[in-house]
């Protein structure tokens, strides 16, 4: 399983990561306290566009709304599988 993660630039606890599991790409969000969410990426989104979306979202104060906006902007479909 390949795993690459990004933490907040301002030292916050929120982290986002891309991982490969059983041939699927997943996005993992962890707030560092109580919430962990996992989504499976639908379709053939490129690693570059996924990484760019995560990198952009991690710069924002509200990571989850920013992540949803970045994925929508890039037409990347996701399916919630945990959280």
Give the predicted TM-score (pTM) of the model: 0.81
What pLDDT score does 1 carry? 39
State the residue for tokens 């790409």: 25
Written as one string, the DSSP assignment of 10-72 is TS-S-EEEEEEETTEEEEEEE-SSS-EEEEEEES---HHHHHHHHHHHHTSSSHHHHHHHHHH
What percent of the chain clears pLDDT 70, i.e. is strictly above it?
84
Q: Give the H or E element holding residue 73.
A: helix 63-73
Domain ranges of the chain: 3-82
pLDDT at 54 over 80: yes
Tell me how many degrees the CA angle 54-2-82 measures, rounded to the nearest 5.
65
**Predicted confidence (pLDDT) per residue in 13-36, tens digit:** 778 888 888 888 999 998 878 889
């Amino acid at each position: 399983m390949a795993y690459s993660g990004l933490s907040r630039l301002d030292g916050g606890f929120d982290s986002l990561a891309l991982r490969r599991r059983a041939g699927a790409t997943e996005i993992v969000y962890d707030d560092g306290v109580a919430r962990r969410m996992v989504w499976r990426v639908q379709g053939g989104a490129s690693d570059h566009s996924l990484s760019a979306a995560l990198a952009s979202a991690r710069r924002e104060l509200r990571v989850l709304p920013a992540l949803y906006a970045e994925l929508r902007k890039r037409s990347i479909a996701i399916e919630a599988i945990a959280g």
